[in-house]
Copies of this chain bind each other. A is one copy, B any other.
Amino acid sequence: MEKYSSLISCKDEKGLIHRITKIFSDEGVNITENLEFVDHSSATFFMRTEFTGLIDQQRALSLLQAALPGGAEIEIRKQASKRIVIYVSDEPHCLGDLLLRHSFGQLNAEIGAVLSQHGNCQRLCERFEIPFFHVPVNKLSRESHEAEMLRMTSQFSPDYLVLARYMRILSGDFVARFPNRIINIHHSFLPAFVGKNPYEQAFDRGVKVMGATAHFVNHILDDGPIITQAVVPTDHSQSPLQMAKIGQDVERLVLAQALELVFEDRVIVHGRRTIILQ
């Protein structure tokens, strides 16, 4: 039987759950999971519904549109594996973790390709029979390199781009082509330690916890809506190198958890924040 998720966000008012569930009920589908949330700071209502059964998506959408306040955002998505392209630089731990999960059938996504400005992850991709493309920087300008990455990426029509430790900054133009569809793993608990060398920054600051953050990419560096974060204890005895080594395990887990939520259509971007209905 087909499985669907609907994602609704609109101005909050009385009786919304009742109106929405009436429509699903009248359509005869079987709701298997239902989660609502009201963000009181912006008076916004969010609802995610999972259901099985045949549905006329167009009719359901227009019924919902009619029943909800003006400006409501409504999506009904058939549950399906996502298409992704992965960008990576030279550190393979996040990529390796994604390839492993993919090989176990646990990624909930098809990996169209892995692109990198470095060549060292090629062998790893070959192990898992995933296409790897080396896009060297050489004497390319930043713009030309990005254009080449974009050209290659477009061939795979990805639903999402995953930056699995991709150490180059994407331009605002590039990012604008994939709104809320680029997911990055940053190796600090943002907003601490934005930018380069966060483990060195963390060491210098003498923090006692360190972490990782998966977030959507927007036009400001390391500033997009946060999806998942986790931290581990650290102390004076760990050098930046040791922090980086231990941090790798947090990074790959935080990224995997973010992808799972996004690929299950559980994440709604609301301004600079994410609403996660799970």
Chain A residues within CB distance 8 Å of chain B: 14-15, 17-18, 21-22, 24-25, 30-34, 36-41, 92-93, 96-97, 100, 103-104, 106, 124, 127-128, 189-193, 203-209, 211, 225-231, 235-237, 239, 245, 249, 253, 256, 270, 272-276
Residues in chain B near residue A226, CB distance under 8 A: 205-208
Q: Assess the B205–A191 pair: CB atoms within 8 A.
A: yes
A229 to B236, CA, bound (A): 13
Q: Point out the residues of chain B lying under 8 angstroms from A204, CB to CB.
A: 272-273
**Chain B, residue nearest A39 (CB):** B236
Report B-chain residues with C-beta under 8 Å of the C-beta of A14: 25, 30-31
- Complex Cα–Cα for A37 and B230 (A): 26
Pairs across A and B, CB under 8 Å, 25 listed: A14-B30, A17-B17, A17-B21, A18-B22, A18-B25, A33-B38, A39-B236, A40-B239, A41-B203, A100-B100, A103-B124, A127-B127, A127-B128, A189-B189, A189-B207, A189-B209, A190-B205, A191-B192, A191-B193, A206-B226, A206-B273, A206-B274, A207-B226, A208-B227, A209-B229
Which secondary structure characterizes the binding site on chain A?
mixed
- Once the chains bind, are B97 and A100 in contact (CB under 8 Å)? yes
What is the count of identical protomers in the complex?
4
Roughly how many angstroms separate A272 CA and B256 CA in the complex, as a whole number? 33
With contacts A14-B25, A17-B17, A18-B22 taken as known, whether A205 is within 8 angstroms of B272 at the C-beta atoms is yes
Q: Which 4 A-B pairs rank lowest in CB-CB distance, beginning with the nearest?
A: A206-B273, A18-B21, A208-B229, A192-B192
A80 CB to closest chain B CB, in angstroms?
19
**Which of B34, B103, B106, B209 has a CB less than 8 Å from the CB of A230?**
B209
